[in-house]
Amino acid sequence: MASDPSSTSSTPAGSPNSSWSADPDVLKTLVGLLSSSVDPFANHSEVYRQLQQLQAHLQGDFELYLVFLMAQWNNPGLRVEVCQAAGLLLKQSVKSKYKDGVPESAKGFVKGALLNMFLQTDGNGQYKSKAVQNTLGALISTIVGFEGLSKWPDLLSKMMAQLGG
């Protein structure tokens, strides 16, 4: 069972939008749904229906909750699979509605949080979760594919600095 992710900061570290904060009740609901989504015995069609309802209810904030949960990959009380599921759902959302359905402020928040996650490694430059790292890379490349590098000017310089280049 996952712990309460709201026990950490309700805004991802390094995110550009510090005015947004996660509602603990929404987080608890979303963690429960994402936990069920990775449970092989769950009714996945029902879980998907509930995720769609939550997305409709939260409108533009749904992506913010997903990136918030993905950023919790380092939280020992939250299953890595839940963080990865949040990232995969975020990638699906980016593909389906990022260009026209996500507000610019949310896009900036998502990009800032993703870049911050990319920069969070251990002392040896390693990530704790290869699965989350792969999902993170896929998300970054999907966003760059939609927007181009001109809309994310600090991406390459910060990545190169992290990689020692």
pLDDT in tens, 135-151: 999 999 999 998 999 99
Q: Within a domain: residue 2? A: no
The token pair at 162 is: 């992290």
| pLDDT over 70 at 91, yes or no | yes
**CA-based torsion, 79, 6, 24, 114: positive or negative:** negative
The beta strand positions in the chain, using DSSP E, are: none
DSSP, collapsed to helix, strand or coil, labels residue 18 as: coil
Per-residue pLDDT, averaged over 72-95, amounts to 90
DSSP, collapsed to helix, strand or coil, labels residue 123 as: coil
Q: How confident is the model at residue 131 (pLDDT cuts 50, 70, 90)?
A: confident
Number of domains the chain contains: 1
Long-range contacts of 106-110, Cβ-Cβ distance < 8 Å, separation of 24 or more: 106/17, 106/60, 106/61, 106/63, 106/64, 107/147, 108/16, 108/17, 109/12, 109/15, 109/16, 109/17, 109/20, 109/64, 109/67, 110/63, 110/64, 110/67, 110/143
Q: Within a domain: residue 131? A: yes
Q: Within a domain: residue 43? A: yes
What's the pLDDT score for residue 22? 93
Amino acid at 117: M
Q: What's the domain range around 80?
A: 16-163
- Higher-confidence residue: 110 or 19? 110
Q: Within a domain: residue 67? A: yes
Q: Within a domain: residue 3? A: no
Q: Within a domain: residue 6? A: no
Q: Within a domain: residue 114? A: yes
| pLDDT over 90 at 27, yes or no | yes
Per-residue pLDDT, averaged over 25-48, amounts to 96
Contact 12, 71 (CB under 8 A): yes
Give residue-wise pLDDT tens across range 75-85: 888 898 999 99
Q: Within a domain: residue 1? A: no
Nearest-angstrom CA–CA distance, 84 and 34: 9
- Higher-confidence residue: 14 or 157? 157
What's the pLDDT score for residue 49? 97
Nearest-angstrom CA–CA distance, 35 and 14: 26
Give residue-wise pLDDT tens across range 3-22: 455 444 455 444 444 578 99
